[in-house]
Amino acid sequence: MNKPLRRISIFCGLLVLALLVRTNWLQYVKAEELSTRKENRRVQIAQYATERGNIIVEGTPITGSAVTDGSDYKYKRTYIDGTLWSPVTGYASQAYGSTQLESLEDQILTGNDDRLFFDRTIGMFTGEKKQGGNVVTTLNAAAQKAAFDKLGDKKGAVAAIDPRTGAVLALVSTPSYDPSSFAGNSKGDEKNWVELKDSEDKKLVNRALRETYPPGSTFKVVTAAAALENGIVQDVNAPTDTPEPYILPGTKTPMVNHANGCEKASLMRALEVSCNSVFANLGDKVGRDNMVKTAEKFGFNNDKIDIPVRAFASVYDKKMSPDGNAQSAIGQFNTAATPLQMAMVTAAIANDGKLMKPYMVDQLTAPNLDVIEKHEPQEMSRPVSGENAKKIQEMMVDVVEKGTGGNAKIKGSVVGGKTGTAQHGEGNKKRPYAWFISYAENPDGTSPVAVAVVIEDSEASRDDISGGGLAAPVAKAVMEAVLKTSKG
């Protein structure tokens, strides 16, 4: 071969090699990045080319699929009682993407998950069309509906958990939205989306998981746990050394009480009537660092609580001054919590001090209903000893039987609870949030439900906003629904 031909051959060989390297680079190294780019419509077209699998509650689908006319996308998502279930499902929209379970379990729902490879392969030979798998939730339909109906037109949220397992039983956020209203790609879908996106009521926000509030007096349960665990209080019926007025440490500012008889009140009495001074005093005696440790055992300051939807981190400040710590010990100052977090606090107390990791997906199934993944309950932490948990249960039952939580009483059942009215805004001038946390027991003493309710009701007068008045009846309805279904 002469020299010019040899050079051309080498050059052509290098071009072929470069092409092979480039092709393999795109196929194996850059494939995932390219396939997930927003500009790649083929991925979205494929995503809606087949019917999605369903999200299931108690054996019944709460989702579906419908044929779309005049579009590249063959199917669009449909929802049954969408406003009721959107805090659970999120949305799957041809135009606006997906959130929550629709997003996190998309591979299962579209049938693209590697664990469904065998089903897809068999379908190629049998001629069966590709199908998505299903997401089976832990939700209790009666509890979800009770929470949604009882909240009504109020702005708020409910989270309910089975303390024994961590299974989420209800997850409600109001005002809500119907994901079906913008599931397609039409002008009507766009109009509905814009209205929701720009809504002053923040309807697209899942308040149960993705909104934090000052927990107010419901946080006193955590402070009680810290005081007991650190030996500051041993006898819940013994007087404390709390003066009246109680002056915040390092200041001349008195802690205001909205109850009578708080001077030297016992822990039992202080929780019953919600004495701010007693819990501020106890928070100071426990100290900031030990308060932080107890709060974190309950789940505060944890930004990785996934159920599998990730909840915002609830906060107990690690760097505040002693007076800030005293105020935080009554659920004010910098303390902030999601409804899920306060349900977790209640669940740990109800479960004799053992906090189970919350979860909302019981199992994932193939199109033929074979189980491909099942959740096993997991212990998350032990925030409080069994002995001290029993003491706090006794105190919470006293709140319902004799104190501020009377609206949560359920005939024939033991109920423990704690009310909360959380101040907020500059100078605490905004209308406070109404909180209630509670649990109810079966006849055998086990608790199948722990619930947290928050209501941010801008229409009510200040005098009418209270955890016992507004939030406790909501919690009662949820607990009654669970108790009824748990008894079969």
Give the CA angle between residues 419, 421, 425 to the nearest 5°.
160
User: Hunting for tokens 């050059």 — which residue is that?
Assistant: 11
Give the CA angle between residues 155, 158, 163 to the nearest 5°.
170
Instruction: Look at residues 246, 225, 48, 9 and name the one whose alpha carbon lies nearest to residue 130.
Output: 48
> d(Cα 330, Cα 242) in Å, to the nearest integer?
14
> d(Cα 119, Cα 134) in Å, to the nearest integer?
13
**Number of other CB atoms surrounding residue 461 within 10 Å:** 8
Say what the alpha-carbon torsion angle 303, 305, 309, 312 is, to the nearest 10 degrees: -40
Instruction: Look at residues 14, 136, 1, 119 and name the one whose alpha carbon lies nearest to residue 63.
Output: 136
> d(Cα 80, Cα 92) in Å, to the nearest integer?
14
Between helix 276-286 and helix 220-229 the angle, nearest 10°, is 40
Burial of 453 (0-12, 13-18, 19+ CB in 10 A): buried
> d(Cα 339, Cα 222) in Å, to the nearest integer?
15
Q: Tokens representing 82?
A: 């969408």
Q: Tokens representing 153?
A: 């037109």
**Is 266 known to be catalytic?**
no
**Number of other CB atoms surrounding residue 256 within 10 Å:** 9
> d(Cα 287, Cα 247) in Å, to the nearest integer?
16
> d(Cα 324, Cα 317) in Å, to the nearest integer?
9
**Number of other CB atoms surrounding residue 13 within 10 Å:** 10
> d(Cα 484, Cα 384) in Å, to the nearest integer?
29
* Peptide bond before residue 308 is cis, with ω within 30 degrees of 0: yes
Q: Tokens representing 468?
A: 């016992």
Q: Which of 217, 274, 277, 314 is catalytic?
A: 217
> What does residue 421 show for φ and ψ, rounded to 5 degrees?
-130, 105
Which residues are designated catalytic?
217
